[in-house]
Amino acid sequence: MSASPTTQSPSTQGATANTSHLQPGTQRVVRRPQRNPGPFLGLLLVLAVLASVLGLAYLVKPAEFKRVVGNLGKRLSGDAKPAGAELSDLPMNRTFCIAHVDAEHGLAPLYPLQPGRVKQVLVDEGQKVQKDQILFTLDDRIAKAQLEEAQAAVAASKAQWDNAKQLETQHREKIAGQQKVVDGRKALADAARRMFENLQSSSIAPTKDQMFSAQMQAEAAQAEVDARKIELEALQKLNPTFQVSQAESDHKAKEAQLKKAQVALDEMVVRAPADGTILRLSVQVGESLGPTPRMPAIQFLPSGKQVVRAEVEQEFATAVRVGQKAIIYDDARSRRDAPLATGKVLSVSSWYSPRRSMVMEPLQYNDIRTLECLIEVDPAPANQSPDNLLRIGQRVRVELETGGAAGKKEPVEKSQGKAQPSASKGSSPNPSAKVAGS
């Protein structure tokens, strides 16, 4: 019985051709196709980015992150609040803004007006001081020398002024003396003229020499009179009050320099401008202070009311009014913690300005315009914990009640395609009140 011929497929023929060169007893290796890891790596990258975003959100706003996650869990489990929840439980009638604690009229940085070396420091940080109390002093040896120099210049200018006053009297006396000289010369000229006239009318004829001599004497006497008159006119034209005025002005200038030297000496002692507290002391004994210091020598807090300066973004500024209630929270704590204090809006600025406090945070926008409002803090209770006290410069979050019916709890009715009667009258609260990001 003859064997029938077998037909091989192309793949089988290729495999046979590839294995034909193997030696007998050699194990054949079968290569399997490799899978592409791209989709798996892309999924890992997406999960890593999502985890980073959630972690950053938790670090920046842990309270809000927990609230959002809790609400999401309640929605998934079916425990979410129904649509009839109260408006006071929702942040629809609130405006949140960043603020800081400040004095009513701000802090007072103190600089010495004169450069010098610190000689004494008489206060400490946190110390309460009274008005005009000495805080620190500078080396005043140069200032005292300049004061003595100014005093000597004033004395010299006073002597020159007195001398100028005497010159005025002497000038009047010179004019009077010159007038007498003119009168005397005039009398001599008149006598010489009469003598010449008498010679001309005499019965005894004078000689030519006598006539010439008499004529020359009369003319010389008259010329002397004219010269003395010119000198008198020159004296009369002189203004002695100019020298007096000049000396008086110089004396006043020297007195002004004396006052400046006295003020410079007084400024070597730095005093408290008002009753208050030393917040920060940046000088020490032996330190040299130049004319343009880099930082104030003392940060001074004047006594007065404590306020909170809140910056409301322009988008939500129209909802802020004077007299609104404010709740103040520490910015470093969760909103679920007890508030630090309460207060009310005392004033609202009349212009939009850049942020007063620039904070480099991922969710903080600095290049925006804000409306600053001043919040008066209510007096703290006697039993308040020291951990909840407001301190100057503290960064806080302020919650302003901007709803029209603040303090009242009104249920939100379900609207399943039905028009509410209260909505037509315009008496229902606005559920879309603006909310500023904290």
Q: Which two tokens stand for residue 208?
A: 């030519």
Measured CA to CA, the distance from residue 62 to residue 36 in angstroms comes to 40
Question: What is the pLDDT, as a whole number, of residue 26?
Answer: 55
- Containing 258, the helix (H) or strand (E) segment is helix 240-266
Tell whether 114 and 100 lie within a shared domain: no
> Going by C-beta distance under 8 Å and a sequence separation of 6 or more, which residues neighbour residue 404?
93, 429, 430
- pLDDT (0 to 100) of residue 58: 77
Closest to 171 (Cα-Cα) out of 230, 242, 225: 242
Question: Taking the chain, what is the end-to-end CA distance rounded to the nearest angstrom?
Answer: 97
Give me the number of domains the chain comprises: 3
276 & 312 share domain = no
Are the CB atoms for 365 and 438 separated by under 8 Å?
no
Classify residue 428: in a domain, yes or no: no
Q: What is the DSSP letter of 340?
A: S
Q: Do residues 368 and 315 lie in contact, with contact meaning Cβ atoms separated by under 8 Å?
A: no
Residue with tokens 């000597």: 152
State the amino acid at position 193 in one-letter form.
Answer: R
Q: Are residues 203 and 240 in the same domain?
A: yes
CATH number, domain with residue 272: 2.40.50.100
Q: For residue 155, tell me if it sits in a domain.
A: yes
Do 112 and 267 meet the contact criterion of CB atoms below 8 Å apart? yes
Same domain flag for 292 and 223: no
Domain boundary among 300, 323, 356: 300
- Give strand pairing partners of 186: none
Does some domain include residue 292? yes
Instruction: Look up residue 331 and give its two tokens.
Output: 């910015």
The amino acid at 16: T
Domain boundary among 261, 285, 319: 261
Reported residue count of the chain is 438
- Residue 40, domain member (yes or no): no
Q: What is the pTM of this model?
A: 0.55
Q: What secondary structure letter does DSSP report for 5?
A: P
Which residue, 204, 236, 261, sits at the end of a domain?
261
Q: Are residues 214 and 285 in the same domain?
A: no
**Same domain, residue pair 284 and 374:** no
Residues 292 and 329 in one domain: no
CA distance 96 to 139: 51
Is residue 402 within 8 Å of residue 320, measured between CB atoms?
Answer: yes
* DSSP reduced 3-state for 349: strand
Please give the chain's pLDDT, 438 residues, in tens: 444 444 444 444 444 444 455 555 555 555 666 667 777 788 888 888 888 888 887 777 676 777 777 777 777 776 655 544 444 444 556 778 888 899 888 899 999 988 999 999 999 999 999 999 999 999 999 999 999 999 999 999 999 888 888 777 777 878 888 888 888 888 888 888 888 777 777 767 777 777 788 788 888 888 888 888 888 888 777 777 788 888 889 999 999 999 999 999 999 999 999 999 999 999 999 999 988 888 899 999 999 888 999 888 888 888 888 998 998 988 887 666 778 888 999 999 888 888 776 666 665 666 778 888 999 998 887 777 777 788 898 888 888 887 643 434 333 333 334 434 433 334 333 333 343 333
| String of DSSP letters for 324-338 | -EEEEEETTS-TTSP
394 and 311 belong to one structural domain = yes
Compute the CA torsion angle 102, 106, 108, 109 (nearest 10 deg): 70
Contact 185, 228 (CB under 8 A): yes
Interior/surface letters 27-52, b for 16+ CB within 10 angstroms, e for the rest: eeeeeeeeeeeeeeeeeeeeeeeeee
Specify whether the CB–CB gap between 358 and 327 falls below 8 A. Answer: no
Whether residue 293 lies inside any domain: the answer is yes
The answer to the question of residue 235 being in a domain is yes
Q: How far apart are CA 391 and CA 308, in angstroms?
A: 10
160 and 253 share one domain: yes
- The reported pLDDT for the residue numbered 92 is 53
Closest of 45, 48, 69, 65 to residue 363, by C-alpha:
65
The reply to whether 279 and 197 lie within a common domain is no
Using CA atoms, how far apart are residues 366 and 369, in angstroms rounded to an integer? 8
Residue 112 sits in the same domain as residue 173: no
d(CA 14, CA 46): 44
Give me the domain span that covers residue 283: 108-138+268-300
- Tell whether 211 is covered by a domain: yes
Contact 61, 331 (CB under 8 A): no
Paired residues of 100 in beta bridges: 309, 395
Domain contains 115: yes
Q: Which residues 6+ apart lie within 8 Å of 186 measured at CB?
A: 225
Half-sphere exposure of 436 (CA within 13 A, CB side): 27
Same domain, 113 and 181: no
> Cα–Cα distance between 206 and 195 in angstroms, integer?
12
- Calculate ∠ Cα 384-388-394, nearest 5°: 140
CA dist., res. 237 & res. 251, Å (int)? 26
CA atoms of 70 and 50, how far apart (whole Å): 18
CATH of the domain at 358: 2.40.30.170
The three-class DSSP label of residue 433 is: coil
Answer yes or no: are the C-beta atoms of 277 and 301 closer than 8 Å: yes
Q: Looking at residue 33, what is its pLDDT?
A: 65
Q: How many helices (H) and strands (E) does the chain have?
A: 7, 14
